Amino acid sequence: MAAANDHPERQVILIVDDSPDSIALISGLLNDLYRVKVATNGKDALRIAFSSDPLDLILLDIMMPGMDGYEVCSHLKKESQISDIPVIFLTAKSDVADEEKGFELGAVDYITKPISPPILLARIRTHLRLKRITDYLKHKLEASDLL
């Protein structure tokens, strides 16, 4: 994808959603600010997450045919090299028990559908900043043998 390579310094977001409309809406909001990758199912999402081009954040739809968002998340969190990619769940239903489950699996937040653009952008910004700072601090700690 040529567009994704135009700004190599930008942070990379993977959108995982089985609905093309949803992907189009979200990537339309993010394209100017970030490098965006997309997957329409859990298997592709994992393949992309494991590829050599590291991701900075994953927006993960919960309800998908085949492997659902929870399952994708638990696979991601098991692998040490990608477990620190923040995952934000996208969900239409907002049930406390489900939310609890998502956080237990290691997600950092939820965004409810229908998506509110300012909220989506604000949450992404928060977690990308956190990711950048933690990566930086981790790098420093590793360098000083504290980790």
Partner 1 sequence: MAANVEQKKQTVLIVDDQPDNLALIGSLLKDIYKTKVALNGEKALQIAISNEPPDLILLDVMMPGIDGYEVCRRLKENKATNDIPVIFLTAKSEVEDEQMGLELGAADYIAKPISPPIVLARVKNHLMLQSAREYLKEKNRFLENTFSRYVSSKVIEQLKGTPIDEFLKMDKREVSILFVDMRGFTALGSRLTPEEVQETVNSFLDNMVKCVEEMEGMVDKFLGDGLMAIFGAPLHNETHAWQALSAAASMQKVHKDWMESRQAANKTVGAIGIGVATGEVVVGNVGTSNRMEYTALGHLVNLASRLCSNAAGGEILTIKESLEQMKHHASALQVQDEFLTATFISKGLTTFKNISEPLEIFSVSAC
DSSP labels, 52-102: SS--SEEEEES--SSS-HHHHHHHHHHSTTTTTS-EEEEES---HHHHHHH
- Out of 33, 48, 63, 126, the residue judged to bind partner 1 by CB under 8 A: 126
Least distance from partner 1 to the Cβ atom of residue 118, Å: 4
Dihedral angle computed from the Cα positions of residues 23, 101, 123 and 80, in that order, rounded to the nearest 10 degrees: -90
Q: Point out which span in 22-30, 33-41, 61-69, 118-126 binds partner 1 (CB under 8 A).
A: 118-126
**Minimum CB distance to partner 1 smaller for 38 or for 124:** 124
Contact 63, 84 (CB under 8 A): no
| Interacting residue ranges for partner 1, rule: CB under 8 A | 8-9, 94, 96, 99-100, 103, 108-110, 112, 116-119, 122-123, 126-130, 132-134, 136-137, 140-141, 143-144
